[in-house]
């Protein structure tokens, strides 16, 4: 296995996949040579400072991007699994995601140049040599970097699509479906794109505070309303339930999505003023999101019963209160999507302008390139949102294809690779070995079984068509009550 020093000192000419990650020094000198310059008149363009986050600001950014989608589906997940299994699974997935987050921080500490999962798996691939592919000799590092780097960007675009879908649900709920759902999606595309125009997270960290306040207040408003008014009337709840495999595992994948921000961890750590403060930010994230998840899931399910809607913000009793809650939730729906758009855009932009001054300087070319590229990403997100219009099913696909590896499987593999040869050297290493093996197994099961369950759920979905103008907001109170009564009689 290659050592850290070997990897860091290896010539870049031997690693084409790393060419899009030049150092600032490389780029500062690049424009003087003129070889890579696209805009010779802007050689003195301002250098962008990416190291702008303190640990608590980083934690706030992570809370904003993590809590929004996850908390909206968990009450219905608990309704599917039953109260006790739902609580246990939330706590288990919280522990696993916390541990895997620590593993990512440990890996980034060992290899500080890593800024995304493509870089991380390339580190592993460089110790595996090369293979023959279509008559060419291609390094395993190059293959790993391309596959996992673009997979990470694709996952983030899927999450952006989920936020656009939530935006359309929100606007339909607020406006009583005043116009076609696709129109709301286009309006959302414009809003998200404009907020994605800044190139750093400096301003996003402040917006994230508004996002955290937004989702916390919206959740507490929903919890307080259902606890006070018991709006739907189906107050029966089940300690546990016997359900089919598809429904059960789709619920598990939805819980996994609630802790799925790991794909952004490397990018956010890369903007920390002090990367060694990462455990503090992670602890802040996990304490806040797990607490909110448990409070929302338990209280809303307890008072609503098996008919709890998804997204859960529509569980309030009156139309006025539901609209007020959705209105309060708008910042978190938007800002969390913007953060994912920023990280995805940062990767794609780095690939487009590799070895160029435009990567770290504010030039005319970089401004136009960033604007067009982020617009394209949001257009792709809109296509995904309208093609998979069922909220829980879209989250299930996300979890199976991407969360399974970025949040669970790959962090475990990273530790096993870093500590190869010392797995059983001490009790601490033995514990860590077992924990990381569990992460890999969890990721594999979420991927294989979760994809099966999600595809089957989408195939069996009735009444929801892609690219439809129909109202996608949750059902009215009367319809929800009728559905809850039917479920209670089963």
Q: Phi first, then psi: give them for residue 277, nearest 5 degrees.
A: -85, 5
Calculate mean pLDDT across residues 75-92.
Answer: 90
133 bridge partner residues: 136
Q: Which pLDDT does position 429 carry in this prediction?
A: 93
pLDDT in tens, 126-180: 888 888 777 777 888 888 888 888 888 888 898 899 889 889 989 998 988 889 9
**Cis peptide leading into residue 125 (ω within 30°):** no
pLDDT in tens, 242-280: 788 777 887 888 888 888 888 889 888 888 888 899 999
% of the chain with per-residue pLDDT over 70? 81
What is the Cα–Cα distance from 91 to 3, expressed in whole angstroms?
36
| Position with higher pLDDT, 29 vs 380 | 380
CA-nearest of 260, 278, 340, 249 to 96 is 260
Calculate mean pLDDT across residues 329-334.
Answer: 88
Q: Phi first, then psi: give them for residue 170, nearest 5 degrees.
A: -60, -50
| Position with higher pLDDT, 51 vs 226 | 226
Please determine, for residue 38, whether its predicted confidence score (pLDDT) is greater than 50.
no
CA-nearest of 79, 416, 86, 366 to 232 is 79
| Position with higher pLDDT, 208 vs 108 | 108
pLDDT in tens, 406-454: 899 999 999 999 999 899 999 999 999 999 999 999 999 989 888 888 7
User: 399 and 256 in contact (C-beta within 8 Å)?
Assistant: yes
SS3 labels along the chain? CCCHHHHHHCCHHHCHHHCCCCCHHHHHHHHHHCCCCCCHHHCCCCECCCCCECHHHHHHHHHHHHHHHHHHHHHHHHHHHCHHHHHHHHHHHHHHHHHHHHHHHHHHHHCCCCCCHHHHHHHHHCCCCEEEECCEEEEHHHHHHHHHHHHHHHHHHHHHHHHHHHHHHHHHHHHCCCCCHHHHHHHHHHHHHHHCCCCCCHHHHHHHHHHHHHHHHHHHHHHHHHHHHCCCCCCCCCCCCCCCHHHHHHHHHHHHHHCCHHHHHHHHHCCECCHHHHHHHHHHHHHHHHHHHHHHHHHHHHHHCCCCCCCHHHHCCCHHHHHHHHHHHHHHHHHHHHHHHHHHHHHHHHHHCCCCHHHCECCHHHHHHHHHHHHHHHHHHHHHHHHCCCHHHHHHHHHHHHHHHHHHHHHHHHHHHHCCCCCCCCHHHHHHHHHHHHHHHHHHHHHHHHHHHHHHHHHHCCCCCCCCCCCCCCCCHHHHHHHHHHHHHC
User: 257 and 72 in contact (C-beta within 8 Å)?
Assistant: no
Please determine, for residue 193, whether its predicted confidence score (pLDDT) is greater than 60.
yes
């Amino acid at each position: 296995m290659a050592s850290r020093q070997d990897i860091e000192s290896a010539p870049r000419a031997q690693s084409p996949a790393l060419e899009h990650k030049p150092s600032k020094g490389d780029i500062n000198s690049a424009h003087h040579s003129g070889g890579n310059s696209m805009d010779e008149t802007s050689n003195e363009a301002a250098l962008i400072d990416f190291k702008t986050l303190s640990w608590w600001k980083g934690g706030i950014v992570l809370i904003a991007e993590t809590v929004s989608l996850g908390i909206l589906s968990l009450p219905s997940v608990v309704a599917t699994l039953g109260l006790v299994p739902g609580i246990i699974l939330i706590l288990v997935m919280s522990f696993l995601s916390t541990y895997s987050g620590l593993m990512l921080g440990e890996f980034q500490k060992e290899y500080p140049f890593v800024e995304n999962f493509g870089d991380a798996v390339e580190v592993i691939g460089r110790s595996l040599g090369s293979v023959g592919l279509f008559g060419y000799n291609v390094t395993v590092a190059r293959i790993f970097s391309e596959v996992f780097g673009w997979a990470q960007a694709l996952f983030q675009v899927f999450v952006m699509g989920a936020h656009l879908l939530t935006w359309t649900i929100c606007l339909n709920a607020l406006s009583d479906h005043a116009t076609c759902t696709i129109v709301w999606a286009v309006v959302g595309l414009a809003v998200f794109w404009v907020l994605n125009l800044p190139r750093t997270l400096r301003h996003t960290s402040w917006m994230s505070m508004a996002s955290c306040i937004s989702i916390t207040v919206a959740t507490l408003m929903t919890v307080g309303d259902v606890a006070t008014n018991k709006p739907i009337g189906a107050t029966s709840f089940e300690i546990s339930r016997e359900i089919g495999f598809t429904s059960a595992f789709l619920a598990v994948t939805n819980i996994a999505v609630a802790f799925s921000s790991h794909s952004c961890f490397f990018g956010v750590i890369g903007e920390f003023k002090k990367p060694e403060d990462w455990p503090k930010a992670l602890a802040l994230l996990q304490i806040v999101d797990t607490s909110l998840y448990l409070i929302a899931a338990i209280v809303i399910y307890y008072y609503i019963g098996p008919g709890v809607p998804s997204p859960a913000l529509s569980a309030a009793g009156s139309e006025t209160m539901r609209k007020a809650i959705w209105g309060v939730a708008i910042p978190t729906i938007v800002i969390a999507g913007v953060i994912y758009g920023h990280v995805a855009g940062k990767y794609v932009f780095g690939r487009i302008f590799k070895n160029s001054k435009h990567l770290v300087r504010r030039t005319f070319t970089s401004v136009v390139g960033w604007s067009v590229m982020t617009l394209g990403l949001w257009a792709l997100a809109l296509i995904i949102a309208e093609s998979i219009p069922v909220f829980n099913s879209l989250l299930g696909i996300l979890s199976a294809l991407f969360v399974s590896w970025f949040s669970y499987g790959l962090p475990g593999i990273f530790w096993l690779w870093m500590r190869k040869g010392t797995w059983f050297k001490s009790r601490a290493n033995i514990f860590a070995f077992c924990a990381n093996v569990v992460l890999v197994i969890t990721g594999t099961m979420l991927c294989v079984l979760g994809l099966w369950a999600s595809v089957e759920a989408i195939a069996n979905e009735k009444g929801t068509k892609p690219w439809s103008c129909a109202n996608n907001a949750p059902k009215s109170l009367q319809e929800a009550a009728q559905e809850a009564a039917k479920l209670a009689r089963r």
